[in-house]
A = this chain, B = another copy of it.
Amino acid sequence: MTAVMSLLDRGRAQVVPALQAAVDRLDPASRLQASYHLGWCEADGTPIPGGGGGGKAIRPALALLSAEAVGADVHTGLPGAVAVELVHNFSLIHDDLLDGDVERRHRRTVWSLWGSAAAILSGDAMLALAHEVLLESPAPGAARAGWLLASTTRELTRGQIQDIAFEKRQDVTLDECIDMAGGKTGSLLAASSAIGAVLAGAPEATIAALTTFGTEFGLAFQLIDDVLGIWGDPAVTGKSVYSDLHARKKSLPVTYALADTRYGERIARFLATEDELDLDSIAAIADTLATAGARDWAVAEAGRRMKLAGEALDTVDLCPQPREDMMALARFVVERDS
């Protein structure tokens, strides 16, 4: 754990100055909103010393490691690290607006402070800036990395569109839910795990292996995140108890149980209701899901995906230390507070 923390600290130390230099290029309004969202300042622009509120910066750390894993200098991966962090935060700012969320990481969201126009336009500007930063890189694979960033953004968008559509549907299948999670969560973790190698001009097989690594551990992460959203301890997760069940979220364990011949119909009836249920009724649904095998399946499936992630890295020739660090980071992300 300490090793992973120092990996993340190292990543932040390298990425944050470059990310700040990039954000400084934005128009004044977008710059303030992006800096606030990234945890660097208050809504009025007052700097926050240490600027710790901006998340763990997993994606930039992976981007740097993926350059080192193919023997490139860490600086080769730096524009990729900045770009994936900008795209991640562009999508968070747009998603908070779409989902109507007024808080993220215990702070007000951009749209709730500055309005929807500000959230849309500062997000758009951050997405464009990500491409600028990446395409200014002199690295051999800069254009290919720009393409990866664009196709990944489209995957992110596709996942978000599916997620919203699923809210209104009662017949979401497990395959559809896995496809949605692959877009919404897996695609940017996959791109982050490969973009440094892409910039360095690594061979296709290496890029493919790193992408598979990110896709698989991204799905493992989503599976465990979904388990925690149902059965997680609020004291540990920071979410309210049974939060995903209260929201009737069609998460991976829930769609797994929907297909169960004994319990599927009960779960479907629960999802179709909109009334606020008391804690005992919600707890009973959580028990039904567990009895249908949803929890065991999700945990086992996450383990299987993590194994596939590791095996993908073993198929190609990578520098041992960064490869181990990537795997440690993936394990940390998946197993965090579970």
Contact = CB atoms under 8 A, between A and B. Distances in A.
Interface in A102-148: 116-118, 120-121, 123-125, 127-132, 135-136, 142-144, 146-147
A149 interface: yes
A66 to B, nearest CB: 19
B131 A146 contact: yes
A28 to B, nearest CB: 9
Interface of A: prevailing SS: helix
Given A124-B153, A127-B124, A153-B128, A147 B135 contact: yes
Contacts of A130: 150
B131 A150 contact: yes
Interface stretch (A156-164, A257-265, A275-283): A156-164
Contacts of A153: 124-125, 127-128, 131
Nearest to A135: B147
Contact of A121 (B26, B121, B146, B160): B160
A98 interface: yes
A88 B118 CA distance: 19
Given A157-B30, A158-B125, A120 B147 contact: no
Residue from A130, A136, A154, A165 whose CB has the most chain B CB atoms within 10 Å? A154
A29 interface: yes
A128 B143 contact: no
B94 A27 contact: no
Interface residues of A, number: 40
A305 to B, nearest CB: 24
A151 interface: yes
B117 A164 contact: yes
A162 B129 CA distance: 18
Contacts of A128: 127, 150-151, 153-154, 157
B150 A135 contact: yes
Contact of A129 (B120, B125, B150): B150
A267 B327 CA distance: 66
Nearest to A118: B161
Given A118-B161, A125-B154, 16 more contacts: A26-B154, A30-B158, A30-B161, A97-B120, A98-B121, A124-B124, A124-B127, A124-B157, A125-B157, A128-B151, A129-B154, A130-B150, A131-B131, A132-B147, A135-B147, A143-B143
A-B pairs with lowest CB-CB distance, top 5? A131-B150, A143-B143, A128-B153, A135-B147, A128-B154
21 contacts: A27-B161, A94-B121, A94-B124, A98-B117, A98-B120, A124-B127, A124-B153, A124-B157, A125-B158, A127-B127, A127-B153, A128-B157, A130-B150, A131-B131, A131-B153, A132-B147, A132-B154, A135-B143, A135-B146, A136-B147, A142-B143
